[in-house]
Amino acid sequence: MSLPFQAQEGLVQLLLTSPETGYLSILDPLTDQTPSQWIGTVSPFLKGEIPIAVDKAAPSRAFAKLVESEHRLEKYISQGQSCVDLGASPGSWTYIPAQRGAQVIAVDRSPLRDDLMRHPLVKFVQGDAFQFAPSGPVDWLLCDVIAAPERSMQLLIDWVRERRCRQFVVTIKFRGDTEYTKLDELKSEMPKLCEVFHLLHLCANKNEVSAFGIGRRSV
C-alpha cells in the first residue's frame, strides 16, 4: 500500500464530525520544510482500521493479531518460509503459516489442537519458550506468550540482535494499565536493530501491544 505523500508534498486532512462541522488540518511544505517526518502519523488504512475476516477453521480469533501485523508491515508469511511460534497453543497463529505452506516450529508447554499436532509442516516442541533457540536463523519469529512484558521485550531484543529471525511479530502483554511505560527500552533499542519497526496497539489487541518489523541484515 503506497503512503499518502512524498517529501515535497503537503497534506490536507478533513474530518467531518457532522454534515456542517468538522476539522481541517493543513501541513504546508512551504512553511514546514519536512512534512514527510509526520508520515508515520497518517494511517494508510481507512479510519486506521484493518478488518480481518472470520475464519472458523482456526482454533481461535487470535490469528487476527498476526494477520493485522502482516498487513501493516506489508510482508506476508509465504510458502517455503520458516517460522518459530513461541507460546503457540492452541495454534491459531501456527495455523496461518501452516495453511500457507510455511514450516513452523511451535513451542508451548501445552499441546496444539489435534489436527495441528499432526500437520506435516508443524513441529511441536513442548517446553519453555524462553529457553528455546532455533538450530539456525528463521524467516519469522512469532511470539504470543503470556509473560511479564519485560521478559517478552528482552526475548525480542535478543532474537533480533542475534539475528535468529529476520521478521517478527511479538505480543507484549500487560497486567494493569500502568505498564505502558515499560516499553521505553524497546522503543530505544529496536530502531537500532531494525530496518522496519512498529510498536502498536492493533485493532485486534486487548490489554497488550504488538511489536512487529524486519531486523537489519547487519547490525
Ligand X SMILES: C[S@@+](CC[C@H](N)C(=O)[O-])C[C@H]1O[C@@H](n2cnc3c(N)ncnc32)[C@H](O)[C@@H]1O
* 173 counts as catalytic: yes
Q: How far apart are CA 54 and CA 60, in angstroms?
A: 10
115 lies in the site for ligand X, by CB under 6 A = no
Tell me if residue 64 falls in helix, strand or coil.
Answer: helix
Preceding peptide of 90 cis, ω within 30°: yes
Residue 159 near residue 193 (C-beta atoms within 8 A): no
One of 32, 55, 59, 182 touching ligand X (CB under 6 A): 59
From the list 119, 93, 89, 121, the residue with the least C-alpha distance to 107 is 89
Shortest distance in whole angstroms from residue 172 CB to ligand X: 12
**Catalytic position from the list 65, 75, 173, 187:** 173
197 lies in the site for ligand X, by CB under 6 A = no
One of 68, 139, 144, 208 touching ligand X (CB under 6 A): 144
90 lies in the site for ligand X, by CB under 6 A = yes
Q: Which is nearer to ligand X, 27 or 82 (CB)?
A: 82
Q: Which is nearer to ligand X, 91 or 97 (CB)?
A: 91
Total of residues contacting ligand X (CB under 6 A): 22
Enter the C-alpha cell of residue 182: 515499560
Residue 104 near residue 85 (C-beta atoms within 8 A): yes
203 lies in the site for ligand X, by CB under 6 A = no
180 lies in the site for ligand X, by CB under 6 A = no
CA-based end-to-end distance of the chain: 27
One of 89, 103, 167, 210 touching ligand X (CB under 6 A): 89
What is the separation of C-alpha 106 from the centre of its chain, rounded to a whole number of angstroms? 17
Enter the C-alpha cell of residue 17: 464530525
- Which residues form the catalytic set? 173
Q: Which residues bind ligand X (CB under 6 A)?
A: 59-60, 62-63, 87-93, 107-110, 128-130, 144-147
